[in-house]
Amino acid sequence: MGCKIVATMRWSIPILALLAVSLSGCGSSGSAEPKDTGASPAVGSAKAPTGKIEVQSFKGGYGIDFFQTAAKEYAEKHPGTEVKVDGNPRVWEQLKPRFVSGKVPDLTFPGWGMDHWGLAEEEQLMALEDVLKTPAADGKTPWGETFDPALLKLGQLDGKQWTLPYYVIMYGWWYDPELFKENGWTVPKTFNELLAVSEKIKAKGMAPITFQGQYPFYMLCMMMLPWVVSEGGQPALTACQNLEPGAWKSPSMLKAAQMIAQLRDKGFFESGAVGMSHTQSQAGFLNRKAAFVPCGTWIHPEMKDSWPKDRKIAFMLPPTVDGGKGDPTAIQVAIEPWMVPTKAANPELAIDFFKYMTSPAKAKQFVEEKGTLMAIKGAADGAKLPEYVVEPARIYGESKDIWSVQFRSWYPAMFKELENATTALVSGKATPEEFCERAEKAAQATRDDESITKHKL
């Protein structure tokens, strides 16, 4: 779960042409620069790589079962190979000391808790641009040409390709359309409409909104920051990410914090949500204890084991700020990066396995089984989309403005402080003004720390 893409565009593509997106990558500034760690492995040759590899993966909403099955398939198709895939929801905690010791896996998707740009700057990741010129799984097409080029750029820094994308996720809110139909409620498109329908929901004895209080990322990235973009447009958030002085206490940021406080003071948040895990709050939402929940498009696979029979939910964008400058179709999208450590024991086999994972057939299978978008060209062509992906796909296709938050991976300590400030705000322990002051202080501390490499959009 991460926020990494920033771009603006108009769409003129069919809804199911999910991967024909035109996003822009990110640049960077600062004194420290990643260095090329040597020639990339010679893959794509007539002689296929053999041996064993270890793959460590973040185990989030989509699990790791797909990767494990792909590993077995690959080994069966390639005699003399063995691929072991393992992982857990906090795999980065096990990986960090391994990167320090040099005993790293051959291929990894370390999840949102790993600072992969820091790894690149420390020369701990393999540069992959030469590998992308070698044949893909079909043995003919240059591998790099099988990815959406703009999404591929998100793994680049200073002209080098350090990470590779796989699936694409969308951030927004979810609601129960049958519940709304039963009660005659209108799905809100603006914040004022949200306030109006929340009064009706609360009058029915239901919490209008629940949230994943143990993980303030959800409220910060799927409520507050969307409202910053809605109020002030992308420039308001870009200034924050670029650490421009005063950006974190701008009128747009203050407005977003005031909106959170207004919902809090009106009693529109579920009682006790501050202490809930992501699965607890989402389970409560699915059992109609709350009418809205912020979450990414991973909610279905993540909650499949506790899904109420016949329950259907629908995706929506966060209600926009009335009179805001931002595009009302703006949507937040993110990727999760895969990478090959410099000290991988068998990088050739690791890369060949990931080529298999990113083949059109496997990418299409991931779309159908996991219900998400992919960074691989043609992955949705002819795919049978799960019902719950149809609406996100429509919104995705009609959006004129795509954005994301990259500072989460750039400045993890700062992001953690902003999460803490968000918890204080929603708990009533801080005013909107105090939230902004605390956020600006965190930004200034990051800006003034010469040991932190700075990045700009």
CA distances from 186 to 189, 259, 272, 296 (A): 9, 20, 26, 22
The pLDDT > 90 percentage for the chain reads 71
Please tell me what DSSP assigns to residue 56: E
C-alpha span between 457 and 437 (Å, rounded): 23
How confident is residue 396, by pLDDT bands cut at 50, 70 and 90?
confident
The two three-digit tokens of residue 383, written as one number:
């795919």
C-alpha span between 407 and 434 (Å, rounded): 21
The residue with greater pLDDT, 51 or 47, is 51
pTM listed for this prediction: 0.78
Q: Fold identical between 17-27+42-166+336-384 and 170-333+406-448? A: yes
pLDDT at residue 1 in the model: 42
CB 6 within 8 A of CB 229: no
207-209/290-296 β-pairing: parallel
CA distances from 163 to 23, 143, 354, 453 (A): 17, 14, 12, 18
The pLDDT > 70 percentage for the chain reads 89
Please tell me what DSSP assigns to residue 376: B
Give 98's Cβ-side CA count (13 Å radius). Answer: 19
C-alpha span between 100 and 117 (Å, rounded): 15
pLDDT at residue 151 in the model: 77
Average pLDDT over residues 437-446: 98
CB atoms closer than 10 angstroms to residue 107: 27
Return phi, psi of residue 287, to 5°: -100, 20
CB 364 within 8 A of CB 134: no
Q: pLDDT digit string (tens) for 245-294?
A: 999 999 999 999 999 999 999 999 999 999 999 999 999 999 999 999 99
Q: pLDDT digit string (tens) for 183-192?
A: 999 999 999 9
pLDDT at residue 333 in the model: 84
CA distances from 299 to 10, 78, 85, 342 (A): 28, 35, 23, 34
Most confident region among 31-35, 44-48, 315-319, 408-412 by mean pLDDT: 315-319
The answer, yes or no, to whether residue 7 has pLDDT greater than 70, is no
The answer, yes or no, to whether residue 64 has pLDDT greater than 60, is yes
First to last CA, the chain: 20
C-alpha span between 79 and 156 (Å, rounded): 34
Average pLDDT over residues 44-70: 88
How confident is residue 158, by pLDDT bands cut at 50, 70 and 90?
confident
Spell out where 302-349 has E strands: 314-316, 331-335
C-alpha span between 116 and 124 (Å, rounded): 9
The answer, yes or no, to whether residue 14 has pLDDT greater than 60, is no
CB 419 within 8 A of CB 213: no
The answer, yes or no, to whether residue 153 has pLDDT greater than 70, is yes
C-alpha span between 126 and 259 (Å, rounded): 44
b (16+ CB within 10 A) / e for 209-220: bbbbbbbbbbbb
How confident is residue 47, by pLDDT bands cut at 50, 70 and 90?
low
How confident is residue 25, by pLDDT bands cut at 50, 70 and 90?
very low
The residue with greater pLDDT, 255 or 168, is 255
25-34, 57-66, 155-164, 370-379: least confident range: 25-34
The two three-digit tokens of residue 205, written as one number:
């004895």
**Residue boundaries of the structural domains of the chain:** 17-27+42-166+336-384, 170-333+406-448
**Domain covering 170-333+406-448 in this structure, CATH number:** 3.40.190.10
pLDDT at residue 388 in the model: 87
19-23, 313-317, 328-332, 426-430: least confident range: 19-23
CB 282 within 8 A of CB 173: no
The two three-digit tokens of residue 115, written as one number:
């600072």
The two three-digit tokens of residue 259, written as one number:
């909106």
The answer, yes or no, to whether residue 421 has pLDDT greater than 80, is yes
On whether the 17-27+42-166+336-384 domain is CATH 3.40.190.10, my answer is yes
Q: pLDDT digit string (tens) for 327-385?
A: 999 989 888 899 999 999 999 999 999 999 999 999 999 999 888 888 898 887 778 88
Q: Kindly state the helix (H) or strand (E) to which residue 296 belongs, with its residue range.
A: strand 290-296
How confident is residue 398, by pLDDT bands cut at 50, 70 and 90?
confident
C-alpha span between 103 and 341 (Å, rounded): 10
